[in-house]
Structure 1
Amino acid sequence: MRLPIRSDSRAVLMGVGEYDDPALLRIPAVSRNLNDLLAALTHPDNGGFDAERCEMISPRYADKPTARVADLGDDVRDMFLVYYCGHAERASDGELILTLADTTRKQLEYTGLRMSDLQKAIMMSRARIRVLILDCCFSGAALPSVLGNDDADAIINAARIEGAFILASSAANKTSNAPTGDRYTAFTGVLIEVLRDGIPEGPETISLNDLYTALDWKLRARNHPAPKRVNDGTASEIALVRNTAFDPRSKTPDTDGPKYMSLYSQVADADNEPRSRIIALEEITNKAKKGKEDFRTALNIIATNTDLPLLFQINAVYQLSLLGEVSAAVTGLKTMTENASAEALEDAHRALTLPSSTQEWLEQLKQDNWNAPFQRYQRWHMHLTDADLWGIHMARMMRAMRLDINACVAAVEQLANELKDTDLAISTVKGLRRDRNLTDIERRVLDDVLRKVTVS
């Protein structure tokens, strides 16, 4: 992984923390964001950029910021990095608007920086690598709320630029990006930390992919919104800085397997092959069972990571409860059901604790008001595949955890589509249909999803 070619690269750091309009809340951390991020990127020994080819701007609409960005990118042939920190909102026509120092609340659409204009300015550059980093802080008190709760990826989708690597601070409906009294905004603070302090046991240079993985891990571990990314080009392996924490001795392979960061990255990467994601999750679980605290932390983060498939979350919740981390398990379960409780976890344990004989298990199903599999000639043998049994156990666990039918259906659809296992998805639906406590409406919902999954 190489660093940018300094003579052919440039960084433009834009930030707005002070507004002419008193209706827009100040973000005192922005100036510190810009100064310290610039210092990390242009560090004489470790930075990937030349300080003379980097510029900080507190843009005003009257200054024509898009023209300035286009002008600065004109002589860039290698990497053109643009960073913005400030408030952002969606206009009435759906376009993302970045606020400027002279943006007014009443005339947001006419005095803000439209994302389409910034996109054009960045695309004017003939740089091989274009990078856009957005730390957009939202505040319900600062701007009218146009974003809906279902617009979790609004920022990243609105900011797409052909051939660019884009990194955004959070889902568009999150508001906790700028903790009061902190030196930096949450996202940029961790960004600066990683660039300045490095990644222990990491590679010699910090690529954009390495940066995203470290940000994702650290932000989630500190209960901040998780970052978002999109890579429409080949920039992800290009480095921004040298890794100050790099230790050549750590290149010796670890006989105990990859470190937690590597495994978590494999689990969290939706582009990774499904089986590889599952294996990585199993490795994290096994290491957590062996008492390795880092991997218990990983389970905590997976349990609350709503970007992951529900079955990954469910598994992490269940494993945490088995390890005695009941409070953490309930916290994870709360992201899936408002009926999360320690009692629900106990019921899940009971449902998945198999009796010593098949007959006892069948009786247990009947006692819980579930249709037990048919026994041919009253013998132990049943016409059930391993997938069928897995589906029944998974269905019982989800229902014991108080997941409603919509959450169960979402888990099934993710299993069929994102995790590419139609057989297990079908078996899980069939397992769910054994629950006699279902309403007629819930049964029809399951029948519909079974038809869809079977066809797919």
Structure 2
Amino acid sequence: MQRKALVIGIDYYEAGNSLPGCVSDAHRVNAVLESHSDGSPNFDVRLLTAVSERDPIPFRALKDSVEALFASEDDIALLYFSGHGHVDATGGYICGSDSVRGDEGLALGTIMALAGASRARNRIIILDSCFSGAAGEATLKPSVSEVTNGTTILTASRANEVAMAGGSGSVFTDLLLDALSGAAANLVGQITPGSVYAHIDQSLGSWAQRPVFKTNVSGFVSLRTVRAPIDVEILRALPTLFPEHGFQLQLDPSFEPELPSQGLNPDADPANTKIFAQLQKLNRVNLLIPNSQLHMYHAAVHSDTVHLTALGEHYRQLNIKRRI
């Protein structure tokens, strides 16, 4: 599976108004994308940065690099840009180091056209620049989307908003990295564009800049894999433990290995205590809950039943469909 990423950070602008932190953000994004949390290879990343007049990224280099990204037949082609953005009546732009007014930058419409014509199966565009939410909008009809099938856009702000700076870089990229580092992972450790957006969206208040998410895909892909919060073998046991929808699993004191007043429970059944250990882990990640007791210990001691939550039923169905 070929996964390619172009990561661009521009601090230096020839006409002045240079930016702090964009290059640093690009390096941080590069570091997290190039491998999964276990160290195995993830994206093949090309990193382009402009720190000073010695290494500018002019318009031509910016466009050529984006064209090269979308020219191949990868499974995923991902673009990340951090730098100046511009918007006017002709549309939105990301700005190279030689940009003066902004509208001589790389048009977002051009990026969308290159992505739309690409033979890569999935095209993901992540823009951390002011007014970046204009990406995917028709210039003459901003309410109309031009996001082609297989394309996903995630931007720092709406078309009429600036992107805010944070302590170590931009607020948006800080949250993006937090999501990719595991905060947006599902229970099998996969991080999708949708879960990244959900994490960023929930982290920004109503008065802050608003991220934009646009997608036209039939199914999400995993951008990165991290250590799962629960053993996958326990997830795969769900259809065995709960053979049908709405099943109530009956507990009794034989499931609990220890009693506070007695130490080891003389009535404990080793087979049941092994199952109970799995049930407790499922409870910790909100996949099952006791019927009437607050805690799993009391559910066993008082012979309560446990049942799957809606999320637990979702993962049970995924197992039945052999998707875990």
TM-score class, shorter: 0.5 to 0.7
1:190 pairs, out of 170, 175, 183, with 175
- What aligned pairs does 1:26-425 form with structure 2 within 5 A after superposition? 26-46=18-38, 50=42, 53-58=44-49, 60-93=57-90, 95-105=91-101, 108-109=102-103, 111-137=104-130, 154-155=134-135, 157=137, 160-163=146-149, 164-179=151-166, 182-199=167-184, 202-220=187-205, 224-235=208-219, 237-244=220-227, 246-248=229-231, 249-250=281-282, 253-255=287-289
C-alpha separation in 1, matches of 2:94 and 2:226: 32
Question: For 1:191, what is the secondary structure of its paired residue?
Answer: helix
C-alpha separation in 2, matches of 1:70 and 1:12: 10
Question: For 1:157, what is the secondary structure of its paired residue?
Answer: coil
**Alignment deviations for residues 333-385 of structure 1 (CA, whole Å, 9 cap, x no partner):** xxxxxxxxxxxxxxxxxxxxxxxxxxxxxxxxxxxxxxxxxxxxxxxxxxxxx
Task: Report how many aligned residue pairs link the two structures.
Answer: 230
Q: CA deviation at 1:197?
A: 3.8
**Alignment deviations for residues 116-153 of structure 1 (CA, whole Å, 9 cap, x no partner):** 22223323421111111111136xxxxxxxxxxxxx96
Is the 8 Å Cα contact of residues 156 and 167 (structure 1) preserved in structure 2?
Answer: no
Letter in 2 for 1:254: L
2:14 pairs, out of 17, 20, 40, with 20
Q: Cα gap change, 1:229/1:62 in structure 2, threshold over 3 Å: closer, same or farther?
A: closer
Question: For 1:238, what is the secondary structure of its paired residue?
Answer: coil
Identity of aligned residues (%): 21
Q: CA deviation at 1:50?
A: 4.0
**Alignment deviations for residues 279-331 of structure 1 (CA, whole Å, 9 cap, x no partner):** xxxxxxxxxxxxxxxxxxxxxxxxxxxxxxxxxxxxxxxxxxxxxxxxxxxxx
Q: In structure 2, what is the equivalent of residue 377 of structure 1? A: none
**Alignment deviations for residues 259-298 of structure 1 (CA, whole Å, 9 cap, x no partner):** 9xx9xxxxxxxxxxxxxxxxxxxxxxxxxxxxxxxxxxxx
Letter in 2 for 1:161: V
C-alpha separation in 1, matches of 2:180 and 2:6: 17
Question: For 2:129, what is the secondary structure of its paired residue?
Answer: strand
- RMSD, matched Cα: 3.0
Question: For 1:119, what is the secondary structure of its paired residue?
Answer: helix
Is the 8 Å Cα contact of residues 199 and 246 (structure 1) preserved in structure 2?
Answer: no
C-alpha separation in 2, matches of 1:200 and 1:61: 36
C-alpha separation in 2, matches of 1:123 and 1:219: 30
Q: CA deviation at 1:27?
A: 2.2
C-alpha separation in 2, matches of 1:242 and 1:33: 21
Higher helix share: 1
Q: In structure 2, what is the equivalent of residue 10 of structure 1? A: 4
Per chain length, whose mean CA-contact separation is higher, i.e. which structure has more relative contact order (CA < 8 Å, sep 6+)? 2
TM-score scaled by length of structure 1: 0.45
Q: CA deviation at 1:178?
A: 1.4
5+ residue gaps, structure 2: 50-55, 139-144, 232-280, 291-308, 315-324
C-alpha separation in 2, matches of 1:48 and 1:215: 26
**Alignment deviations for residues 57-86 of structure 1 (CA, whole Å, 9 cap, x no partner):** 247335342232222333333111111112
Q: In structure 1, what is the equivalent of residue 240 of structure 2? A: none
Q: Cα gap change, 1:186/1:245 in structure 2, threshold over 3 Å: closer, same or farther?
A: farther
TM-score scaled by length of structure 2: 0.62
C-alpha separation in 1, matches of 2:188 and 2:210: 23
5+ residue gaps, structure 1: 139-151, 263-456
Higher strand share: 2
Q: Cα gap change, 1:81/1:176 in structure 2, threshold over 3 Å: closer, same or farther?
A: closer
C-alpha separation in 2, matches of 1:153 and 1:174: 8
Q: Cα gap change, 1:49/1:74 in structure 2, threshold over 3 Å: closer, same or farther?
A: farther
Q: Cα gap change, 1:124/1:190 in structure 2, threshold over 3 Å: closer, same or farther?
A: same
Question: For 1:161, what is the secondary structure of its paired residue?
Answer: coil
C-alpha separation in 2, matches of 1:258 and 1:81: 33
